Amino acid sequence: MYTVKAYAATSATSPLAPLSIPRRDPLKHDVQIDILFCGVCHSDIHHVRDEFGSAMPTIFPIVPGHEIVGRVTSIGADVTKHNIGDIVAVGCLVDAESTCPHCRVNREQYSPTKVLTYNSPDKHGTAPATYGGYAESIVVDERFVLRVPGNLDLAGVAPLVCAGITAYSPIRRWGVTKGQKVGIVGLGGLGHMGVKFARSLGAHVVLFTTSPRKREDALRIGAHEVVVSRNPDEMAAHVNTFDFILDTVSAPHDLNEYLALLHPEGNLTLVGASAEKIDVSAYSLIFGGRSLSGSLIGGIAETQEMLDFCGEHNIVSDVEVIGMQDINEAYQRLEKGDVKYRFSIDMSTLKNT
């Protein structure tokens, strides 16, 4: 066991502050990683403030961070997938039983045995809970360590293993391809990745936003059209024309308006999680055979596929790089939507805190 510098919250009302945390020595299938960049996800804030309640109570102290990119510094005796010096990534998962039905079909994210990168019970007994990527280094089972294409900017790679795969997985599941018409609802951390993926797959991409000010940026990122969803005429012009719509918005909104835009047997997938009750008319689904579904990140194999796709198409997240000492301000800005479109922490700055 060894100790590293990290940033942690010690209570739901505490700011993130420096803390020394323990890490296990690498076991025979483990990879030890020096963390270079770590993305900031909105779920980090929810966990730090214990906002998931009894469904997922926070174990304090908590070290957030599940969008990790780093360099391999040590490997266990039986590791075969990675070598010292490799640039790798770690997303939301660090372990799961390989024999469960979900794991056998590469859907580890739905496994009842999954271990989250932070705030899960630590089966190794190193600490009360797993500690995430706001730290100097991390030790992870090689099965959950991902290869990073060498041509990509590492600060922009970090959010790919959460925001990226969350958008990519349903887009691939529903077979988005050249010639299809695809809608992306919301231009944030998830939405801007959805636009990039759908455009790269050859789809005609329409971005839905409540803000006309986002039109120019949406077109820059790759949207072919922008619809202001508060404008009923603009919405009506697209009724019954979409093959697939990815909804990334977590604020309450009327899903029936978007279901009406799908052509027969089209699909609307939710990845933006709202705590509010969702009201959907049965008629919105029945007439036209439309479907409504949800999606949670992606499995490890699919996440690797996504990274390889990003390498082939030179796709990264649009990020603002910050120092570790700026994290509390970044949380405040993230809650206001004041970032285009993800914060990425330069973890070398942790040494100066």
Domain ranges of the chain: 2-162+298-352, 163-294
Question: In whole angstroms, what is the distance from residue 300 CA to residue 35 CA?
Answer: 19
Question: In whole angstroms, what is the distance from residue 21 CA to residue 7 CA?
Answer: 9
Question: In whole angstroms, what is the distance from residue 154 CA to residue 251 CA?
Answer: 30
Place of tokens 């989250």: 116
Place of tokens 């932070």: 118
Q: Which of 150, 152, 138 is nearest to 68 (CA)?
A: 138
pLDDT per residue of the chain (353 residues) written in tens, 0 to 9:
999 999 999 999 999 999 999 999 999 999 999 999 999 999 999 999 999 988 899 999 999 999 999 999 999 999 999 999 999 999 999 999 989 999 999 999 999 999 999 999 999 999 999 999 999 999 999 999 999 999 999 999 999 999 999 999 999 999 999 999 999 999 999 999 999 999 999 999 999 999 999 999 999 999 999 999 999 999 999 999 999 999 999 999 999 999 999 999 999 999 998 778 889 999 999 999 999 999 999 999 999 999 999 999 999 999 999 999 999 999 999 999 999 999 999 999 998 88
Q: Which of 42, 24, 44 is nearest to 341 (CA)?
A: 42
CATH of 2-162+298-352, one of 3.90.180.10, 3.30.365.10, 3.60.150.10, 3.60.110.10: 3.90.180.10
Q: Give me 94's structure tokens.
A: 């660090």
Fold that domain 163-294 belongs to in CATH = Rossmann fold (3.40.50)
Beta strands 291-294 and 262-270, pairing class? parallel
The torsion angles phi and psi of 136, rounded to 5 degrees, stand at: -70, -35
